[in-house]
């Protein structure tokens, strides 16, 4: 029984720690809320016979956004090439990076300017390639006017109070 109690204690401590981590993550959200995650091709993923020019035109890409490629395992790869010439001619030799494992690849867009991706396995010639233009982060939206009650409840102090309450309840 004593050992069960011990386990319970440790479980509670772990749960409290998890709650704390979650709340800390929430508290830090405003700083990173502008980073978007773009699933290349949306539901059509990274595959042949998707027009990625049209997909790219429907999106805007900013520094610190994420690009995620989902693809059929073993069938396709993601090769970032250096320039428009390599993109236009489907030249996969001398890549910036080359990812062919698993079924997904994620990368953060960490600079402004063009990024070019192709599939090196012949499908590039059919249009399986992507060119995007990454823009600098837009200036942050003006801070919303302070509202009396509900709005302030989500402030960092409220989150700290919630974290403390979560710890107190679980320990």
Binding site for ligand NAG (CB under 6 A): 51, 53-54, 79, 82-83, 85-86, 91-92, 94-95, 98, 100, 107, 110, 120, 127
Q: Return the number of the residue (83 or 133) whose C-beta is nearest ligand NAG.
A: 83
Q: Min. distance of Cβ 136 from ligand NAG in angstroms?
A: 14
Alpha carbons within 13 angstroms on the beta-carbon side of residue 13 total 6
Q: Return the number of the residue (28 or 85) whose C-beta is nearest ligand NAG.
A: 85
Q: Min. distance of Cβ 71 from ligand NAG in angstroms?
A: 14
Q: Min. distance of Cβ 56 from ligand NAG in angstroms?
A: 10
Q: What are phi and psi of 94, to 5 degrees?
A: 60, 50
Q: Return the number of the residue (19 or 35) whose C-beta is nearest ligand NAG.
A: 35
DSSP character at residue 44:
G
Q: Min. distance of Cβ 72 from ligand NAG in angstroms?
A: 16
Distance between CA atoms of residues 142 and 112, nearest Å: 23
Strand order in the sheet with 113-118: 61-62, 129-135, 113-118, 78-81, 97-99
Q: What is the largest CA-CA distance in the chain?
A: 71
Q: Return the number of the residue (130 or 166) whose C-beta is nearest ligand NAG.
A: 130
Distance between CA atoms of residues 65 and 49, nearest Å: 25
């Amino acid at each position: 029984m004593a050992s069960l109690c011990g386990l319970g204690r440790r479980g509670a401590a772990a749960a409290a720690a998890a709650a704390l981590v979650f709340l800390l993550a929430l508290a830090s959200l405003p700083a990173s809320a502008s980073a978007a995650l773009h699933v290349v091709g949306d539901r059509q993923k990274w595959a042949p016979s998707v027009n990625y020019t049209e997909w790219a035109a429907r999106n805007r890409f900013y520094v610190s956004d994420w690009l995620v490629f989902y693809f059929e395992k073993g069938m396709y790869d993601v090769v970032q090439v250096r320039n428009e010439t390599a993109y236009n001619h489907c030249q996969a030799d001398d890549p910036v990076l080359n990812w062919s494992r698993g079924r997904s690849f994620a990368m953060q867009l960490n600079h402004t300017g063009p990024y070019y991706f192709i599939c090196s396995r012949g499908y590039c010639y059919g249009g399986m390639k992507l060119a995007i233009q990454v823009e600098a982060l837009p200036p942050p939206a003006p801070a919303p006017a302070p509202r009396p009650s509900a709005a302030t409840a989500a402030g960092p102090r409220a989150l700290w109070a919630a974290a403390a309450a979560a710890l107190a309840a679980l320990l």
